[in-house]
């Protein structure tokens, strides 16, 4: 297991955590993530969906998934005009992301069962990298993750000039 970073908390979930997927398709949810949920009296129950880009899976706790659901399927007149979804966009998001979401719960050993169809879609087989994304975690096939980072690192130079990073 390789890890870096810290769990959800005041600054959110960040870091990379690499784990093996067992022969039954189960993977350990990083203990750092589970500990924060337990400390906040939130159950170790998650919703897992394909990402919009199709590169990876996205793991939300129930509170964050409910926010996503309400934002996608909610009344658009309560959203700033520049952030509103059209009815067509709402249907597409509902079909591609929300309808394909699966509820997964940690067992007594802290593992979740990855749905086979979702695993196949993002080429996860024996290994998975959990990538902290502040309010959610992404699950990547390790080679895809390394390639993604390599492909995008150089293009972030201009973005870095806009942010307090070096």
- Indicate the domain borders of the chain: 2-159
Across the chain, the runs of DSSP E, i.e. the strands, are 2-3, 16-20, 26-28, 45-50, 57-61, 102-105, 111-113, 127-132, 137-140
Quote the CA–CA distance of 48 and 121 in Å, as a whole number.
13
| 49 backbone dihedrals φ, ψ, rounded to 5° | -135, 165
| 138's tokens | 């992404």
pTM of the model: 0.83
CATH homologous superfamily of 2-159 equals Transcriptional regulator MraZ domain (3.40.1550.20)
pLDDT, tens digit only, all 166 positions of the chain: 334 444 445 456 778 999 999 999 999 998 877 776 666 666 688 999 999 999 999 999 888 899 899 888 888 888 888 888 999 999 999 998 999 999 999 998 999 999 999 999 999 999 999 998 888 899 999 999 999 999 888 777 666 667 665 5
Going by the DSSP 8-state scheme, the letter that residue 142 receives in this structure is: H
Q: Say if CB 142 and CB 18 are below 8 A apart.
A: yes
Q: Write the pLDDT tens digit of every residue in 49-60.
A: 999 999 999 999
Tens-digit pLDDT profile for residues 15-25: 899 999 999 99
């Amino acid at each position: 297991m390789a890890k870096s970073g810290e769990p959800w908390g005041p600054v959110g979930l960040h870091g990379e955590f690499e784990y093996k997927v067992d022969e039954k398709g189960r993977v350990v949810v990083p203990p750092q993530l589970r500990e924060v949920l337990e400390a906040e009296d939130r159950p170790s129950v998650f919703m897992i969906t394909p990402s919009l880009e199709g590169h990876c899976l996205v793991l939300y706790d129930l509170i964050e998934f409910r926010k996503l659901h309400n934002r996608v399927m909610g009344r658009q007149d309560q959203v700033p005009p520049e952030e509103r979804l059209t009815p067509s966009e709402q249907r597409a998001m509902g079909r591609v992301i929300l309808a394909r979401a699966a509820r997964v719960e940690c067992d007594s050993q802290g593992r979740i069962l990855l749905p086979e169809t979702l695993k196949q879609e993002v080429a996860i087989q024996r290994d998975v990298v959990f990538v902290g994304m502040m309010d959610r975690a992404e699950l990547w096939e390790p080679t895809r993750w390394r390639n993604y980072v390599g492909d995008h690192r150089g293009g972030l130079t201009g973005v870095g000039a806009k942010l307090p990073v070096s």
